[in-house]
Chain A
Amino acid sequence: MVLLVLIHFMISGYMHHIPETRFLRRTLPLSPPGHLEKKTAKMKLLTLNFLTCAVKTCKSSSDSFPLHPKDAELASDDVEVNPELLVNLLPRLDWKALKTTSAELGFPQLPDSPPTIEQLQSDDKLLKDLHSLLMETNLMEGKLVCGVCGHEYAVREGIPNFLLPSHLV
């Protein structure tokens, strides 16, 4: 009972900050993915960890990364676990950005520091959790907002539109 109340509190507290975010998936994340409506295109949360603002003037600012999801609709997908790939990607992940993104999307707090490669290789549950967060959680609809210039990149059917008008290039 207490746990339920806590979750409710967390989501409502979060909704207070960014009111327009909708949730398709209200199960506790980092647990085995529940099946939701399946669409074809998708944008993995992994991709969001690498994406920056494309506007020229934002290139020199560190706040242009990560992009902040707005009105986000999420979906989950079944992808085969590929431990080698995750081990390969782990050093390249920006853990701070991943923490920000997952907090903005209403997932529970990630630990402060990233797991080490040894931890990942030995801990099967950790591997599965990270896999479901990075590879199986997809952004379907919504907007990605730059923290510097405020440019909104629309995401439709899982495809973000990064075409810029020529004066911003």
Chain B
Amino acid sequence: MSRPEDTLLADVHYDDVEARKYTTSSRIQNIQASMTRRALELLDLKTPSLILDVGCGSGLSGEILSDIPPEEGGPHVWIGMDISPSMLDVALQRDVEGDLFLADIGQGVPFRAGTFDAAISISAIQWLCNAESSETSPQQRLARFFGGLYQSLKRGGRAVCQFYPKNDVQKQMITSAAVKAGFGAGMLEDDPDTKNVKVYLVLTAGQSAVANTKSGDITGVVENMEGVDVVDNRRQGRSSGKGEIKKGSKQWIIKKKEQMERKGKVVKATSKYTGRKRRIAF
């Protein structure tokens, strides 16, 4: 099957005709619904929550979020972002419950730190890999998106992004951007090595204050699920000598500032004076 991402930008591809086709196709509706349910399973929300729907489109996934019965921890309130006005127009006509935003996720996430309990994204973030223009690159857009997402999630919040990677390079690019933004990242593949493979990027933003010991680690997400094999590719131990930064050094200060910035704190700009000693005064 051809990939629309390869030829056009998302807001151009989903014009009025495409948006309507996409939303009325019962095949797409079914796939979207099952992927949303799977993502919700991974998010494991116990109470009614505030959720960010990244690339909400016509609100197919959002509808499911609003329809969760109280005994399963719902109904959730969601805020959707999408770049395609036509898709949002279809969402308008379908009278969805959530709030809608016309925004480009490659430009960041305009919410203050710690807003959302969780984030969900169904078939959207692969679009970030294809926006090639002289001003931005996919890496930049991915960094802005994951940086903004990390900030806007509360500590201990989870994000599940289902996406269609074109190849392993793209998969690698997306996960490394997420890890760089500070997320604990894991990749869940349903039906691996078949044509129907579905890839979910599972992200955790820091550790919650009330976390039990296990769920802080990304593998805790799939702890109670059946039929999931965990393949841990993370580097074991970081005592390779090179990474040692001396406490109080300029490098260390810059690292700390970056950490604070990721948490959404207001941080002064780094300059040539950062970390300099004051001159000795009597």
Contact = CB atoms under 8 A, between A and B. Distances in A.
Contact of A44 (B93, B99, B102, B110): B99
Interface stretch (B23-31, B42-50, B166-174): B42-50
A44 B49 CA distance: 15
A40 B136 CA distance: 35
Interface stretch (A101-109, A112-120, A157-165): A157-165
A2 interface: no
Chain B contact patch, size range: 35 or more
A84 B48 contact: yes
Contact of A40 (B50, B77, B92, B108): B92
B83 A92 contact: no
Interface in B28-78: 47-50, 75, 77
A47 B99 contact: yes
Contacts of B269: 60
Given A85-B47, A169-B108, 14 more contacts: A41-B91, A41-B92, A43-B100, A44-B99, A50-B79, A52-B111, A88-B47, A92-B114, A159-B101, A162-B81, A162-B103, A163-B83, A163-B103, A164-B104
Closest 9 CB pairs of A and B: A162-B103, A54-B110, A85-B48, A50-B115, A40-B95, A161-B102, A166-B135, A47-B99, A159-B100
Interface of B: 47-50, 75, 77, 79, 81, 83, 88, 91-93, 95, 99-104, 107-108, 110-112, 114-115, 117, 135-136, 144, 154, 266-269
Interface of A: 40-44, 46-47, 50-54, 56, 60-62, 65, 82, 84-85, 88-89, 92, 94, 135, 157-164, 166, 169
